[in-house]
Structure 1
């Protein structure tokens, strides 16, 4: 394992444990490439956490855009994640446009603009999350995704991203971010300031329930789309179905959407992923 691969392995294990676990279900020859992809996705997603103003974030995103488009004249290969993802792109002949679109979509994270509509939010989730599932499928299968795989990736990525956003409402409020679409707030007659409260009122709870239902619907559509699918791509979907642990938690009496929670334990995550792997394998054979 190269130093870059080792770095990506540890980085993903720390910041995206479900994706790290899922890579263990992949063939040995694909594992390092998957971890490079997931490290890249984590690196871009974390930029908002590392900057206090939009401009430094814009500079970081532009650096990544230049690095992946081949216009960066600095020593890009000194960055282990950049080295690993560039080598992965070349090794698997991956298209660069999805990576560049992901970087562009993450610019929304740097500002306090509200998400206008549910359609806009689903588009954002598609470009930042579904694309990662899709690229993982391409790494695993060694070929471009067909319509069935693409559709399953689309729904799965949106389910994964939406559930993640619903678990971090308190964090978003602390950053003056609003991923709950304005149209959803208006539909439930809730003011955006309610999302920054200490405790959820009935309106916030209704919105939370509605958004979780959207995520569940996408997950159900993803699962339906996996029937008879090429089994080689299944490890790419294992992180997606970890959202079921969140759904179970959110259904409990007294769950507070505006509080941060630790989530499921590592043991619970490992057990659920193992069960999911068996379930999806059976589904792919139907």
Structure 2
């Protein structure tokens, strides 16, 4: 039997629990609808953010469902660019989420006023229940909006800024859900988000090349005398490997810094996706930083067990 399926059978038995705000009363039929909405959120994460899906399954029950809702919202916002090549259409879709989020923080708004979207409705409940910080939710939208306009990164520092807004913000919100108020945990979240964000850029090269988009930083490409055409054609070369090595080294540096920070136990399960980041960077190193190696595009059959092992050891 496929190793991934064994893992899923073990942990999907722990279904996401429904999220109900302390200020929102639900009737029996509403509770059923709520459960299906949570399942919908979990399915979105499973389909489009599989590694974070596996890590979220290993969270305690009290954190699992709100974490799925938050990650589903992040997926919905992140996928806007993938669903359309038209920047104006993408902007309209991002504006929908911006308007929905604005309404969620209107004290007079009720669940009935929220758009009839399962993710939006569940996010409203999570916001009411856990008092999530609006600025971090907005950064998930504005970072994608800015990227939709720019279409490329000028420097590695720009990728770090983008990663802080689009990935670290998720960790800040998850820490809020877990009730973790710790400066060291925030520091680790910042580094982990940057490590994961930079790694995501590396992993997306073969996909973005099909869309005729280059997300590798321009300053690094120029440093190693590489053109965008080299990336779009997936041309492996010594210069390309050197460029990938420098970018991957920055990601690994952030990952090591995050792992060296002592954080509360709850934060360790929230930071479990660090295992997937380390797994990819290790594979990339073994392939001598050939970012176009086909084996890097395949799911790791042992990753679920690495996640489970680190969860047992309370490591990340």
**TM value normalised by structure 2:** 0.81
Q: What CA deviation, in whole Å up to 9, does each residue of 1:128-180 have, x standing for no partner? A: 0011111111112x25x332111100010111111111112121222232322
Could you tell me which runs of 5 or more consecutive residues in structure 1 were left unpaired when the two chains were aligned: none
Select 1:248's aligned residue among 282, 288, 296: 282
Select 1:105's aligned residue among 124, 143, 158: 143
Classify 1:27/1:250 alpha carbon distance in 2 versus 1 (closer, same or farther; 3 Å).
same
| Aligned counterparts of 2:283 and 2:40: Cα–Cα separation in 1 | 32
Corresponding residue of 1:155: 191
| Aligned counterparts of 2:212 and 2:182: Cα–Cα separation in 1 | 39
Quote how far apart the aligned CAs of 1:190 are. Answer: 1.9
Is the 8 Å Cα contact of residues 209 and 234 (structure 2) preserved in structure 1? no
Q: What CA deviation, in whole Å up to 9, does each residue of 1:235-268 have, x standing for no partner? A: 2111122112212221234664135643333x41
Q: What CA deviation, in whole Å up to 9, does each residue of 1:91-121 have, x standing for no partner? A: 1001111111210110244346331122111
Name the SS of the counterpart of 1:70 in structure 2. Answer: helix
- Written as runs of structure 1 = structure 2, the 5 A alignment for 1:225-264 is 225=261, 227=262, 229-253=263-287, 256-258=290-292, 261-264=296-299
Corresponding residue of 1:36: 69
Select 1:173's aligned residue among 203, 206, 209: 209
Is the 8 Å Cα contact of residues 151 and 222 (structure 1) preserved in structure 2? yes
- Structure 2 residue 177 is matched with structure 1 residue 139: yes
- Structure 2 residue 42 is matched with structure 1 residue 9: yes
Quote how far apart the aligned CAs of 1:215 are. Answer: 0.7
Is the 8 Å Cα contact of residues 167 and 194 (structure 2) preserved in structure 1? yes
| Aligned counterparts of 2:284 and 2:54: Cα–Cα separation in 1 | 23
| Aligned counterparts of 1:36 and 1:240: Cα–Cα separation in 2 | 20
Corresponding residue of 1:84: 122
- Structure 2 residue 74 is matched with structure 1 residue 52: no
Select 1:200's aligned residue among 224, 236, 243: 236
Matched positions, count: 277
**TM value normalised by structure 1:** 0.89
| Aligned counterparts of 1:202 and 1:113: Cα–Cα separation in 2 | 26
- Aligned-CA RMSD value: 2.2
Select 1:24's aligned residue among 46, 51, 57: 57
Quote how far apart the aligned CAs of 1:41 are. Answer: 0.8
Corresponding residue of 1:271: 305
| Aligned counterparts of 1:75 and 1:50: Cα–Cα separation in 2 | 26
Could you tell me which runs of 5 or more consecutive residues in structure 2 were left unpaired when the two chains were aligned: 1-17, 19-34
| Aligned counterparts of 2:83 and 2:118: Cα–Cα separation in 1 | 18
Point out the structure with max Rg over C-alpha: 2
